[in-house]
Structure 1
Amino acid sequence: MENFEPTIIAFVCNWCTYTAADLAGTSRKKYPENVRLIKVMCTGMVDPKYVLKAFLQGADAVLVSGCHPGDCHYINGNYKARRRIKLLHSVLGNFGINKKRLRLTWIGASDGIEFAETIDAMVREIKAEGPLHTDLKQVI
């Protein structure tokens, strides 16, 4: 398992976290290439079935990241995302998925370094967990 490189799907807010990822790149801040960014207009638009589908299609972990609470461009989208992630955390065990594999973070547009550090930490933690071995097709 020492050669294991996790696949992480990240649903990121267009206004904050995606901009932070862009800032990390333009600042030449290195972070692991394990993450695949999916830009959404707001984390409130991330339907729980998108998260489950990411796991179903082979993701080892999923990150949902957006504006800090109170700073959402769509007023309360990040609160909606927080409720959905809490619900998903309570359901993931039924699918044989450790809730550590789903993370919600708030990363502002000017936090490029924080974005890179978050990805780096998540990759290290998921490497330690190992690959996701579950047959979701039988459960879903």
Structure 2
Amino acid sequence: MGSFEPTIVAFVCNWCTYTAADLAGTSRMVQPPNLKLIRMMCTGMVDPKYVIKALLAGADAVLISGCHPGDCHYINGNYKARRRVKLLKELLTQFGIDERRVKLTWIGASEGNEFAETVNDLVAEVRALGPGEARQSAIL
């Protein structure tokens, strides 16, 4: 069997992180192809059940990324996301899912280099963790 390549689902803010991802791509910054972007209008719209569904469907990690606190286009969406992720990580731990598989970051629209670095670091971290719990329990 070949080396493990993680699958990462990213819920990203339309106004900041999605724009940074686009900037990283158009600037030809090196990024692994492991990321599946899902554009949301705001990180405040990311329901914890979306994250759980992604993990149970075989994603090895989930990235949630949006505007810096205080810069949200919807005033307090990123604060709402921060509270939800904190509670979600506690819940995942209770069910035996490593909380390091869910990451919350703040990346502004002009920070394409920060986006590329975050994705590269997350892929390396998830490779070290190994396959996600749902993937490990699947019959191959």
How would you bin the TM-score normalised by the shorter chain? over 0.9
- After TM superposition, where is structure 1 displaced by more than 2 Å over at least 4 residues in a row? none
- Secondary structure of the residue that 1:131 maps to in structure 2? coil
The 5 Å alignment of 1:50-129 reads 50-129=50-129
- For each residue in 1:55-76, what CA deviation from the matched residue of structure 2 results, as whole angstroms up to 9, or x when unmatched? 0110000000000000000000
- Cα shift at 1:134: 4.1
TM-score (norm 1): 0.93
- Cα shift at 1:96: 1.6
C-alpha distance in 2 between matches for 1:54 and 1:25: 24
C-alpha distance in 1 between matches for 2:103 and 2:114: 15
TM-score (norm 2): 0.93
Aligned residue-pair number: 136
- Cα shift at 1:37: 0.2
C-alpha distance in 2 between matches for 1:85 and 1:129: 20
C-alpha distance in 2 between matches for 1:28 and 1:134: 33
Q: How high is the sequence identity, in percent, across the aligned residues?
A: 70
- Cα shift at 1:101: 0.4
Structure 1 gaps, min length 5 = none
Is 2:18 the partner of 1:21?
A: no
Structure 2 gaps, min length 5 = none
- Cα shift at 1:94: 2.3
In structure 2, the residue matched to 1:48 is: 48
State the Cα RMSD in Å.
1.5
- Cα shift at 1:2: 6.5
The answer as to whether partners of 1:96 and 1:134 remain within 8 angstroms in 2 is no
